[in-house]
Structure 1
Amino acid sequence: MLPRSNRLTDSETFRSAVRRGRRAGSRSLVVHLLAGDSSGPPRVGFVVSKAVGSAVVRNRVKRRLRHLAREFLTELPGSAVLVVRALPDAAALSSAELGAELHRCLSRVLP
């Protein structure tokens, strides 16, 4: 589980990260990274639409992504905002495959 201080819940920040952040994608994930200018901790948010699957499948994907993103918090710069968007193919991947996809996408957007 992500600590409360690292959760992204503000819709305006979500929107600005998606519109102005650096983006990298794969067949199952798209990540948006917006470097922050404040001194707060890095925050992570997730977007898992109904195209991914039923509510059970979407929640499973979110739980896996939350767990995997927690491992990458130390690599995120300062007060960065990371938005992870799951595509429909994410539902069919194992946790290890999802972790590899997240790592690959993050390595492309990190400075």
Structure 2
Amino acid sequence: MKKKNRVKKNEEFQAVFQKGKSSANRQFVLYRLDKPDQPYFRIGLSVSKKIGNAVTRNLIKRMIRQVFTELKDKIDSHKDFVIIARKPCTQLEYEEFKKSLIHVLKRSGITID
């Protein structure tokens, strides 16, 4: 995932939280904000210390980025996403993890074929 595809600054995170819409399942909370003037989507990740140690948190972030990399052609452009990982996601294998993330994307109204 390229740097241009990441939400990095606190102001950007706050804009997505305050102006965006959210949806959730047991493993993830997804916030999305429409940005019509932006030619690509961006993602921001939030994985709390409650999830586990640094190794576990980095693994979760890598898996989320990998799912978005695999789905990049199917996800609508012109949006910012912030994904908050919840504790149950640490128990999942990659395929279940991907399925759960796709589920929360569909709940949010993002079309994935």
> What TM-score do the two structures reach when normalised by structure 1?
0.89
Distance in 2 (CA, whole Å) between partners of 1:106 and 1:80 is 12
Deviation readout 1:40-65 (Å, 9 max, x if unpaired) = 32111110000101111111111111
SS at match of 1:75: coil
Query: What RMSD in Å do the two structures reach over aligned CA positions?
Result: 1.4
The aligned residue for residue 28 of structure 2 is 29
The aligned residue for residue 55 of structure 2 is 56
Percent identity over the alignment is: 26
Change (3 A) 1:105 1:13: same
Distance in 2 (CA, whole Å) between partners of 1:19 and 1:76 is 22
Higher helix share: 1
The aligned residue for residue 93 of structure 1 is 92
Change (3 A) 1:101 1:53: same
> What TM-score do the two structures reach when normalised by structure 2?
0.88
TM-fit CA distance, 1:71: 2.2
TM-fit CA distance, 1:24: 1.1
Structure 2 unpaired stretches of 5+: none
SS at match of 1:81: strand
